[in-house]
Structure 1
């Protein structure tokens, strides 16, 4: 059994095998590694048995290693694409949520809650006079009759409520016209 000379395999087949491998893997270092492994494999195999077709063994080995490499790259790309798609969906959700966010709506909800709390903390007659005037649209005379006080008393309570709201809600001044 004649062993094949490593140098003769290398000089005869390396360049063609490298270019063939590179045409599939598109990476010089990977192509070089695969071809070097293939030539070493072929040389070691020649120590054990006679090789009828060097090209067939070389191409079979290169094909197998190149396929393994490409499948590995494909799996990595699939994972990367999945992560990219997930990140893209998450980004789209954040963008659409922010676009749908209406600051006026959020602020007016916050302002309504503050006004409600302030109204609840007012003395009863002051609160009733303000609510009946500003929210229910009743006249001062109607409110006076309901509360059993004078019209001047109703005006006093409404003025007092407006002052309390104005003082407590000075940071919301542009929105106060909705309530006061």
Structure 2
């Protein structure tokens, strides 16, 4: 079928659009993309026809459609490949973070820092208060044993221990939620 320069774009569009659309859609499987490819190709075809470069129309049109469809499919493949690379990278990163989290031990992360704060706080206390607390918490002596050792009442022992605990709470205020959580995990 030959068209001269006087034939209108509408005639070409009417004659070839449906077949062109079905042809392109059979490869791209996307109505919108097929419509875009066909419309752009028809416009380009009309521009070429106005320059008098086309005769016969159908083979030229389908060659143009084939090339534009191939370009579209190549772009889609590149996009899919990039998406796959990004997805794989995200999956690997997620796996690394998951593994890192599974292997981390919060007690080890904060243990040294917490021990340092406890040590500093205990060193800042009066010697007798510090020693009573150490006897109670680190050497597991009863209040009665500590009272006998320091020649004070059991209420005095409780007072010194309470003073130390109050100071430790102040010093460890940023860590208390974590310490509570970790002690919950240990039981």
Q: TM-score range by the shorter chain?
A: 0.5 to 0.7
Distance change (3 Å), C-alpha of 1:16 and 1:106: same
**Partner deviation per Cα, 1:113-169 (whole Å, 9 max, x = no partner):** 22211233245687689879987x8xxxxxxxxxxxxx945999xx69856543433
TM-score by length of 2: 0.59
Post-superposition Cα deviations, 1:18-59, rounded to whole Å, max 9, x if no partner, equal: 111111222222212222232333333333336443222111
Name the SS for the 1:80 alignment partner: helix
| Aligned residue in 2 for 1:168 | 167
Greater displacement, 1-10 / 62-71: 1-10
What is the total number of aligned residue pairs between the two structures? 161
- Runs (5+) with no aligned partner, structure 2: 140-147, 170-175
Number of the residue aligned with 2:4: 3
* Structure 1: runs of 5 or more not aligned: 138-150, 176-180
Contact 2:123 2:130 in 1 (8 A): yes
Alignment of 1:101-140 (within 5 A): 101-106=104-109, 108-122=111-125
Task: Please give the root-mean-square deviation of Cα atoms over the aligned residues, in Å.
Answer: 4.1
Q: Which has the larger radius of gyration?
A: 1
Matching residue within 70, 76, 79 for 1:76: 79
- 2:22 matches 1:24: no
Q: Does 1:54 align with 2:57?
A: yes
In 2: Cα distance, 1:155 partner to 1:89 partner:
63
Aligned to 2:102: 99
* Residues 1:50 and 1:73: Cα distance change in structure 2 (over 3 Å): closer
- Structure 1 length normalisation: TM-score? 0.61
